[in-house]
Chains A and B, each alone.
Chain A
């Protein structure tokens, strides 16, 4: 069995079977990553370009390590200024890069839809590493992977995503993926950070955190961007922290064997207290570890790999 598309643009429209294939493949790679020699020759002769138009530490390093461990040839291109400002269009930039014979492009861009745009410009496989507030599919997959490893199945699991839902690509990818896997999803945040008609995605919407947490199994805490206060969306980070910060007291409302997640980077003391972030129920660092395995699986499957690897 293979993935239907040669691109991974988002988790919207990805079937449960496809997600499970990626997760199963990631299990095999995770096992490889535990070995003393973590490198396999699977993607030898495959050239991958990491195009990062937005600052990123975790995702970029994670992709880079995944590529290296699969023995792919890789090139990094990072810039925080858009090509438009430099006088060359993105299309020209990527067409030039592709002219040097490459196979895959990993793209992170501040503008939603840029990975879709690249599929119209190039013949390479495109992997979305985060586009504006649209999707961040590998983050969604690694979150689901982390949960499946702990709970074995996601059916019936209650997941609460807390924070700036409006500007979050992590939230959107998680919603699509978790829903496909049979989990029940709720989002929680102040009205000013809640996107229009999000309930149509099949999630419950809360503005009161304590109500949202009642009886939940998983809390995925989103990073609050410090600039939201300046934009008038929040009165103050202090108030946000009081109303929406995850602290030990609030954990009492959750089901036993609950899990705390965060896609990073963490603002300790704002959206989550240090105590919670470092607690035994926190899988924040497991998410990071699993990210490499998930990205190896995605790279492998999109370069034509089938099902499980041995």
Chain B
């Protein structure tokens, strides 16, 4: 504490409402930043307002909300392989525009991130990124679900979790070994839960809307049987498992039950899964084609309930860029996925906070300290000596989503034209302003 006093503040965020779920701070205050770190959090002796106006290094943030830098634990950055759709660099610009300071990129690139060298490649590329990038590496070689990757090596290179995301690890024995092995390094296995025989070649949620549209359905149970398996394997191995993009009521109920039994299960859902239903597909909009698919109103309600009661720990974007050529095709031929980094915060505020599903502190926790604790990142809290990764939110601004304005290389969003409340006003990564509205 004494040490920090000698450091000179290079940037002072003055007068914002500081919401830090970890320390339960929810108060107007000044944050002093220097050498990329948080030097001081002052909530008593605030800088007088008249002094703020005449200083470059002091920013007047009255009316704004300051949170720990947002963390997206589920992003697809397409590099290497599909740099036409996104790169680590462009993805990081999209991230900071959306208020994210720390993002974790999934390994299903071409080739996949499934060895130490490829993890190193990610961190090499991350050096020029606008935000912090973490690698989530493949659990099995080539994402084939057959042989484990060299997990020890991968962890040494800095991977924060393993996952075959995009695909389930179909062979239950391999999943068991992945869990047992990852337990030695205390990293979670992130599971994309999908029984491929049940989802068959489905392209949307199986329900009344798929019946109307004549599109092949993916039943909710395709996700739930795998969630049930993962829960049993987590209990059996004692390892940490994180369920990605939970989309159904049945999954939420299974996970709630597992948490009651104190199993090491965590999970996330996405802004699109709690904001949209399969009705969004009625025009055959391929931008609303995602996997897991958009579900029903009943599932959306269950997700909101799960967010509220803590069953769902995190909100992650599953940002999945696709080129216009790939999406502007017949519905069956289009790939799954939507870009989410630049709409996530607005959707959380509009759909969860404004509608009284979550208070600010809870919503922020699911975007900061919760993912940080799952992945053991040095992030997600506003604390002295922590890296000054901070997001300043304008909670009142009304804006209309225009995918053409996205900083992401890809524009595949079903939220075009949607009116949202709240947006990232400033995104600060290690004390540097990387985005300003």
Give A contacts to B, CB under 8 Å: 12, 82, 84, 89-91, 109-114, 116-117, 131-135, 169, 172, 195-198, 200-201
Complex CA gap A82/B331 in Å reads 13
Residues of chain B lying within 8 A (CB to CB) of residue A116: 283-284
Give which listed residue, A90, A133, A198, A201, contacts B330 with CB less than 8 A. A90
Give which listed residue, A89, A172, A197, A200, contacts B214 with CB less than 8 A. A172
A12 lies within 8 A of B212 (CB): yes
B210 within 8 A of A: yes
B402 within 8 A of A: no
Residues of chain A lying within 8 A (CB to CB) of residue B217: 195-196
A196 lies within 8 A of B207 (CB): yes
Known: A84-B329, A111-B332, A116-B283. A201 touches B214 (CB 8 A): no
B328 within 8 A of A: yes
B211 lies within 8 A of A198 (CB): yes
Closest to A194 in B: B211
B213 within 8 A of A: yes
B325 within 8 A of A: yes
A131 lies within 8 A of B214 (CB): yes
Complex CA gap A200/B212 in Å reads 10
Sample of 20 A–B contacts (CB below 8 Å): A12-B212, A84-B330, A84-B333, A89-B328, A90-B329, A90-B330, A111-B331, A111-B333, A112-B213, A113-B213, A117-B331, A133-B214, A133-B215, A172-B212, A172-B214, A195-B210, A195-B211, A195-B217, A196-B208, A201-B211
Known: A132-B214, A196-B217. A111 touches B208 (CB 8 A): no
B330 lies within 8 A of A114 (CB): yes
A113 lies within 8 A of B333 (CB): no
B211 lies within 8 A of A197 (CB): yes
Complex CA gap A138/B377 in Å reads 60
Residues of chain B lying within 8 A (CB to CB) of residue A196: 206-208, 210-211, 217, 219
- Chain A's nearest CB lies how many Å from the CB of B288? 12
- Chain B's nearest CB lies how many Å from the CB of A129? 14
A113 lies within 8 A of B212 (CB): no
Residue of B207, B217, B332 most packed against chain A (CB within 10 A):
B332
Complex CA gap A251/B217 in Å reads 35
- Chain A's nearest CB lies how many Å from the CB of B294? 15
List the 9 closest pairs (A to B, CB-CB), nearest first. Answer: A113-B284, A134-B214, A133-B214, A195-B211, A111-B332, A197-B208, A112-B214, A111-B330, A113-B331
Closest to B332 in A: A111
Closest to B207 in A: A196
Known: A89-B325, A197-B207, A197-B208. A117 touches B214 (CB 8 A): no
A132 lies within 8 A of B332 (CB): yes
Residues of chain A lying within 8 A (CB to CB) of residue B328: 89, 91
Known: A112-B284, A117-B284, A169-B214. A200 touches B330 (CB 8 A): no
B215 lies within 8 A of A113 (CB): yes
Known: A117-B284, A196-B206, A196-B207. A201 touches B329 (CB 8 A): no
Give which listed residue, B211, B214, B331, contacts A135 with CB less than 8 A. B214
Residues of chain B lying within 8 A (CB to CB) of residue A91: 328-329
Known: A89-B325, A196-B208. A117 touches B213 (CB 8 A): no
Residues of chain B lying within 8 A (CB to CB) of residue A134: 213-215
Which residues of B from 322 to 346 have beta carbons under 8 Å from A? 325, 328-333
Complex CA gap A117/B289 in Å reads 14
Complex CA gap A195/B283 in Å reads 20
